Structure 1
């Protein structure tokens, strides 16, 4: 299948993708790199904390559930301790869009698994739009 035309006409932005499922991380990387994003993929909160400390990112795309006792909210909180307006896209197979809204996380968007390419790109576009 031919790659779709890039939706984002911009200077390359760098995203950090955090998901403990390597297949999902690879899927996200494929979709986002086709759109011109530079990105790093990591699978744990500790890797994410290290990258966020060492590298300047324009946004964060992460799974809500990163394993026993670890959540994407922890990673997002850390990112926002570094920069309060850090754009975040949460991804989850366990939470609905309605339940996510009850978390009251400003400056964030949500994508439910399974998601389409367009759903992911729409969420990223919304998250980084105000940057």
Structure 2
């Protein structure tokens, strides 16, 4: 079972994303902001996937969260989400080997992104 950290400052979106993770048979851990996400990652060496909103309100952005977590989890898979047009250039701001999912997205889109991302990297 893959452990997936979902970072989203909108409670309903976080719950929806966590439900998608659980439905896929993985373990979901939620964080409501960047600081909490970094703390969760530091306490979770088994973390394998990060799904993070880019704009998390105050504190670290999703870009900063992924960069920080990659320092302690160098192989973590990263999926960025955002409704901001500027966030689509995740190759410039994001960590290497990450993907981007534009908001609003349907639960099936997140499920497909997680499945295809895991499958493309050896089905972790």
TM-score (norm 1): 0.80
Looking at structure 1, the residues matched to 60 and 29 of structure 2 have their Cα atoms a distance apart, in angstroms, of: 20
Higher relative contact order (CA 8 A, sep 6+): 2
- Which residue of 9, 20, 24 maps to 1:35? 24
**Unaligned ranges ≥5, structure 2:** none
Deviates more, 1:47-56 or 1:99-108: 99-108
- Which residue of 39, 44, 47 maps to 2:36? 47
User: Is the helix fraction higher in 1 or 2?
Assistant: 2
**Unaligned ranges ≥5, structure 1:** 1-11
Deviates more, 1:93-102 or 1:19-28: 93-102
1:117 corresponds in structure 2 to 107
Change (3 A) 1:81 1:45: same
- Which residue of 46, 52, 65 maps to 1:75? 65
For the pair shown, the structure with the greater C-alpha radius of gyration is: 1
1:8 corresponds in structure 2 to none
Q: SS state of the match for residue 47, structure 2?
A: coil
Looking at structure 2, the residues matched to 25 and 67 of structure 1 have their Cα atoms a distance apart, in angstroms, of: 14
TM-score (norm 2): 0.85
Report how many residues are paired. 120
